[in-house]
Amino acid sequence: MPSPIRTSSRVRTEVPSSLGKDDDETVQHDFAILFFSLSLFGRLRDLFEYPRYGCPFKEGPNYYMNVNSGLQNQAVMYIMRGSLDAKQEVFLDPNTLSKDGTVSMSSYTCEFSKDGRCL
């Protein structure tokens, strides 16, 4: 029975001396595909990197809103004290909870107390 493992004497070690016309066309085609892929990736990045604003919600006397600038991993929660026209202050920024910004805040685990004073 022949061995299923190839020996080193069967491995092809020849290197072509020059690129042929077919090889040049293949390289040109590969570069065209790469250029298209990079431009498509750039366009998709532009489409997904836009500012996103959550709906303001009221808890207790204050209003809260989630905002993502488009370049952040997680949305930042802002507080507006007393009214929607009040100045926005950072309430919780999950991007600062870890160095790589991968810690997130889930709406299922983030609840306010009944009076809205505690998170």
105 assigned to some structural domain:
no
How many other C-beta atoms can be found within 10 angstroms of the C-beta atom of residue 7? 7
Contact 55, 63 (CB under 8 A): no
DSSP conformation class of 33: H
**Mean of all residue pLDDT scores within the chain:** 78
Shared domain for 59 and 92, answered yes or no, is yes
41 assigned to some structural domain:
yes
Shared domain for 59 and 45, answered yes or no, is no
Rounded to an integer, the average pLDDT of 49-75 is: 88
Which residue segment(s) compose the domain that 26 sits in?
20-49
Number of domains comprising the chain: 2
8 assigned to some structural domain:
no
Q: Which of 49, 45, 83 is nearest to 64 (CA)?
A: 83
Rounded to an integer, the average pLDDT of 23-42 is: 79
Give residue 21's pLDDT.
59
Give residue 84's pLDDT.
92
Give residue 87's pLDDT.
94
Shared domain for 42 and 62, answered yes or no, is no
pTM: 0.58
Q: Is the model's pLDDT at 16 over the cut of 70?
A: no
DSSP H helices in 49-111: none
Q: Which residue has the higher pLDDT, 72 or 86?
A: 86
